[in-house]
């Protein structure tokens, strides 16, 4: 059985995918990724619809300021498109770049779940 060198040899570490690099480069939070996933499941959504879906996931109320600050950041990053219907109502949708980032991030997480270190401590490996 081979072991990683004490100096932290990265050869035993999973190689990040392009999405992980993109998500890391954009410094996306779990909250922002959740917003992307909500928009992935819907073609277009009002801000309050996004809010309700995120609240349903987290099981508690989400502050309006937090939601809209993060939506605006995702718009600025080109991951979400915002269509203004009137002075108070906006519709949000996932851009192609946003969908690619989300799908690739999910693939990266799935690859990490399949990595041998993911099963450490679950009792499935012999000694």
Contact indicator for 44, 90 with CB cutoff of 8 Å = no
The first and second tokens of residue 83, run together, are 């269509």
pLDDT at 5: 41
Contact indicator for 76, 124 with CB cutoff of 8 Å = no
Rounded to whole angstroms, the Cα distance separating 76 from 80 reads: 8
Domain-by-domain residue ranges, the chain? Answer: 18-108
Contact indicator for 67, 82 with CB cutoff of 8 Å = no
Residues of the chain with pLDDT under 70: 1-24, 117-127
Q: What are phi and psi of 88, to 5 degrees?
A: -125, -10
Query: Which residues have a Cβ under 8 Å from the Cβ of 60 and sit 6 or more positions away?
Result: none
Q: Model pTM greater than 0.85?
A: no
Q: For domain 18-108, say whether CATH 1.10.10.10 is its number.
A: yes
């Amino acid at each position: 059985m081979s072991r990683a060198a004490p100096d932290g040899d990265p050869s035993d570490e999973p190689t990040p995918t392009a999405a992980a690099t993109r998500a890391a480069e954009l410094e996306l939070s779990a909250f922002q990724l959740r917003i992307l996933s909500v928009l992935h499941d819907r073609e277009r959504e009002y801000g309050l619809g996004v809010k309700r879906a995120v609240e349903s996931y987290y099981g508690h109320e989400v502050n309006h300021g937090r939601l809209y600050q993060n939506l605006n950041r995702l718009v600025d990053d080109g991951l979400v498109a915002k269509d203004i219907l009137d002075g108070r109502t906006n519709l949000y949708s996932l851009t192609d770049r946003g969908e690619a980032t989300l799908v690739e991030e999910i693939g990266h997480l799935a690859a990490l779940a399949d990595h041998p270190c993911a099963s450490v401590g679950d009792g499935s490996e012999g000694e």
